[in-house]
Amino acid sequence: MDQAVKAEIKEEYQQHDRDTGSVEVQVALLSRRITEMTEHLKTHKKDNSSRRGLITMVNKRRKLLAYVARHDESRYQELIKRLGLRR
């Protein structure tokens, strides 16, 4: 993922103009990387080190979403709706 795509995602999910590390931004960036890694693993089925990285990213996203769900349910619902995640 190049810098232009990251900047676009940050701009879409940020809460204020200098926001780069909020949970929404982190989850959106992780979701994009997970999608790219999933496509990579469809063609490279035996790439186990990348598969391990994918599992790590999925777990990190799950933990971040659990944090948002604990603290603000409406924010959580909006985030998974915007990202199109099943939960």
Specify the pTM.
Answer: 0.92
* Tally of domains in the chain: 1
Rounded alpha-carbon distances, angstroms, from residue 79 to 18, 42, 70: 19, 27, 14
Query: Within 10 A of 23 (CB to CB), how many other CB atoms are there?
Result: 18
Alpha carbons within 13 angstroms on the beta-carbon side of residue 48 total 0
- Could you list the residue range(s) of the whole structural domain that residue 64 is in? 3-83
pLDDT of residue 38: 97
Question: How is residue 53 written in tokens?
Answer: 């990285």
For the domain that residue 41 is a member of, what is the CATH number? Answer: 1.10.287.10
pLDDT of residue 22: 94
Q: Of 77, 59, 64, nearest to 27 (Cα)?
A: 64
Q: Is pLDDT above 90 for 86?
A: no
